[in-house]
Structure 1
Amino acid sequence: MITGRREAWTGRVLLIVLMAGTVLPFVSLFVTALHPSGTYPAGLSWPSEPHWGNFVAAFKAARMAKLLVSSVLIVLGVVPVSILIATMAGFAIGHLRIVGHRLVLLVFVFGLTLPFEGIVTPLYLQVRDLGLLNTRWAIILPLIGLFMPFSVFWMRAHFVNMPDELSESARVDGAGTWQLFWRIHVPLAKPALSSLAILLFLWTWNQFLLAIVLVDDPARRTMAGALGAFQGQWGTDIPLLCAGSLLILAPTLAVFLIFQRQFVAALLQGSLKG
């Protein structure tokens, strides 16, 4: 009994420490953003007169209205297409078990080992030859390909655990492969699909490397990619830079907080099936 209490208290202390380590940087950014523009705040000192106008100034200076539109367009170009392709591929590999599915899965697993940094140079040359440099397609198309290994592996993990009896019963009732996929398995895959959509949204919205390498115009980048240009222009104004960083982080934090239950539910579902 005493050992159980100690373990419980130890777990709580570790969670508090981890939570503090996660929240503290955001608190530091927020407090620094409220100091007068052009100053160099020390530590977590709360300003005598909070300058809330720094957020408005950062929003206007970074032209975040255009960045929001650009980021939304890039997300809409990446997430739905990636989910559609990954769902069909995961269903074919995990449930239908097409000929050579093990080899195909091995290729996708190998794709998980490729770091973005290691393929930037050949990717830049390929995008340049296609005439897509400095366009949003230069971000959308590579991201769809780079996200595909993880997305297919994620959806395959769901479909491989679906009972064969479910499909056999549907086929007895006259359902074809497409009907089996769209009407039965896709509705059952909603937890996996929603969690994958959240991950792809966060990764696309926060994409930094490809945005600054393949697109020169900050207005056509993601919000995270435009942060580099904003930092170069306002790098000496620490409060304004912190305010801009928080504005860029706000959408991702909001999405995660809103959909965290669906994300956790999908993870728990996968662990129970495994």
Structure 2
Amino acid sequence: MKTSARELWTGRGLLVFVMLITIIPFVSLFVTALHAPGTYPSGLAWPAEPHWENFVNAFKAAKMGKLLQSSLLIELGVVPAAVLMSTLAGFALGHLKVPFRRTLLVIFVLGLTLPFEGIIVPLYYQIRSYGLLNTQWAIILPLLGLFMPFAVMWMRAHFVNMPEDLSEAARVDGASTWQLFWRIHVPLSMPAISSLAILLFLWTWNQFLLAIVLVDDPSKRTMAGALGAFQGQWGTDIPMLCAGSLLILTPTLLVFLAFQRQFVAALLQGAVKG
């Protein structure tokens, strides 16, 4: 069916409108961050003398060097382990005939409905009983559990569409279950795995609630969690606060821009036809 010129321009107009709505807040943050410290800028007026040093001062004031180390440590503790466990579980639930897989599937679906806010109080007391408060483990271990329902369902949705002919042909050739998983299904699942890793990276980097409740030391939190302490120190200095916010947002934007093709490929990936 041929698309008319009117439909084409309407679609383009909507895309431009949505793009403007998305970009304007970032432009506003950037322009505000360039104003003189201690001022209260209004609108999107470009300052007469841009204060680029606000970004350097915000970086030093928030001690973002330590925050970057802490965030990367938390990312390394969460993302690889979560991707590995969810890929194994998704393969088992989606492609193998494991016992009680329907019951396990229902449990994971129920886990998707569990909000962070609803378990933060019992989680605090549990982490305290383990002696892990004010450590990166207080963020890593809860996130591994909280990410599992979505991550497992994401990978299961991929593996359940893998053709049975591939597995049958591999088993005829003498492949074990592990060889079937590692040599055949994992290479074919890289778009889904990489997009899941991107999502988990972004969610971990932007984790705020667990960081401020379970960790008192801002230098041991995630970048987003440390924003609360930075806001308490510079809450009345709007340009400095905007500069710090942009510095915290920049790594996530760079990661998404770098891997956007893999992410879109996974979202558009349909059933594999053999």
Q: TM-score range by the shorter chain?
A: over 0.9
Q: CA deviation at 1:97?
A: 2.5
1:135 partnered with 2:135: yes
Question: After the TM superposition, which residues 43-192 of structure 1 pair with which residues of structure 2 at under 5 Å, given as runs?
Answer: 43-192=43-192
Return 5+ residue gaps in structure 2 as ranges: none
Q: CA deviation at 1:272?
A: 7.8
User: For this pair of structures, how many residues does the alignment match?
Assistant: 273
Return 5+ residue gaps in structure 1 as ranges: none
- Amino acid corresponding to residue 183 of structure 2 in structure 1: R
1:16–1:73 CA distance, 2 compared to 1 (3 A)? same
Partner of 1:12: 12
SS in 1 for 2:4: helix
- For residues 9-49 of structure 1, what are the alpha-carbon distances to aligned partners after superposition, in whole Å with 9 as ceiling and x for unaligned? 22111111111010000000000000011111011010001
Partner of 1:227: 227
Runs (4 or more) in structure 1 with deviation over 6 Å come to none
SS in 1 for 2:108: helix
1:3–1:268 CA distance, 2 compared to 1 (3 A)? closer
- Amino acid corresponding to residue 203 of structure 1 in structure 2: W
1:247 partnered with 2:250: no
- Amino acid corresponding to residue 114 of structure 1 in structure 2: L
Partner of 2:262: 262
Tell me, yes or no, if the aligned pair for 2:162 and 2:271 is still in contact at 8 Å: no
Deviation larger for 8-17 or 83-92? 8-17
Give the whole-Å Cα distance in 2 for the aligned partners of 1:193 and 1:177: 19
Q: Percent identity?
A: 76
SS in 1 for 2:259: helix
Give the whole-Å Cα distance in 2 for the aligned partners of 1:12 and 1:139: 42
Q: CA deviation at 1:3?
A: 7.7
RMSD: 1.4
1:89–1:2 CA distance, 2 compared to 1 (3 A)? closer
Give the whole-Å Cα distance in 1 for the aligned partners of 2:111 and 2:3: 45
Give the whole-Å Cα distance in 2 for the aligned partners of 1:164 and 1:239: 58
Tell me, yes or no, if the aligned pair for 2:91 and 2:156 is still in contact at 8 Å: yes
Deviation larger for 144-153 or 264-273? 264-273
Q: CA deviation at 1:168?
A: 1.0
Tell me, yes or no, if the aligned pair for 2:163 and 2:272 is still in contact at 8 Å: no
1:272–1:177 CA distance, 2 compared to 1 (3 A)? closer
- Amino acid corresponding to residue 256 of structure 1 in structure 2: F
SS in 1 for 2:43: coil
